[in-house]
Structure 1
Amino acid sequence: MPMPPPPELSALSLAEIARWSADSKLPPVDSWNPDHCCDSEMRIARDGTWFHQGSPITRPEMVRLFATVLRREADGSHVLVTPVEKLAIVVEDAPFVAVELKAEGDGADAQLAFRINTGDLVVAGPDRPLHLIDATDGPRPYLRVRGQLDALIARPVFYELVERAVTSPDGRTGVWSDGAFFALEAG
């Protein structure tokens, strides 16, 4: 069954985005534990492009479908999982990229919604934190999408976050979303 196209982020309020996100039904991949079958011959590049046998997957519907059965294992590896098989997939960085931001409110009342490259909408908050990791090429910002799966925040989107940054009472620089404060410094 084809995945429905995602709604336009700019046309939705954050309340509508939160409802849409809550209504999006994903398979219960965390409860499926089949034996490892083989390699999927798939790779997700650092820029979020999905490949199969070295060729890019160009149909967004196929990428969205595969993304629904993606899971990160306890050892940090990634798999595509169904009730009957588990296939290894190479992920160069994070499996998703946050490509758009919509913000409402200010300070502790702010909410930040992100569109990821698969079209999913994610509101940052206590269950979906923002975090930075020190890397050799500088800090890399991420957003938790679901389970143990993260989205790398694209540079232009990160710049939008930096423009919204405030100083917390304890002196850290960061942003608020859904009642949670997220420092914009690697930890």
Structure 2
Amino acid sequence: MVGPADVFAEAAKQLGNPRAYRVEVIGTEKGMIKGSSGLKLAIDETFETYKGRIDTLLVAGGPQIDEIVLNPALQQWLRTQAMKVRRIGSVCSGAFLLAAAGLLDGRRVTTHWNSSAKLAKEHLQTEVDADSIFIKDGNLYTSAGVTAGMDLALALLEEDQGRELALKVARQMVMFCKRPGGQSQFSAQLAAQTRSCR
């Protein structure tokens, strides 16, 4: 959640307009969300109380995703929002929540490489690409892990504001200047490092 939010916050700063991108955290219940790192984030609204208009809805994964996907009210809310928003997507295991809502049926998607086989097995109507860092299929966007979520956010920013701003944001955040979505989740350098560590 934090990585993509930082990309959008930096874009708003670069544009000189704090309202250009306004990130709100919508949760399943009031209070705090505890991420996999232990970092706690405050919830702005719950999905049951949120009344605002959403342009881009990104569903983040997390340690409780296996429990959250079982919430039928949340699944219905996501189906309703999917018909209203300009674009919808997921970061990492957030894809499981979109899949549980039926939003990935017949679509080409990705998730973290370590969860791809599970997603494909549990959702046979979904074409899971275990290698891409992010995928756009119509107005549906899915991404692999945490940093791939930042790559996805840069791609969304480029769609909205153009390449120049996306590159400025990437430079400011000391990121690779926009990895293409089809790039492998496994870099050649990482594979070489892994082999040399054995």
TM-score by length of 1: 0.26
State the TM-score, normalizing by the size of structure 2: 0.25
More relative contact order, 1 or 2 (CA 8 Å, 6+ apart):
1
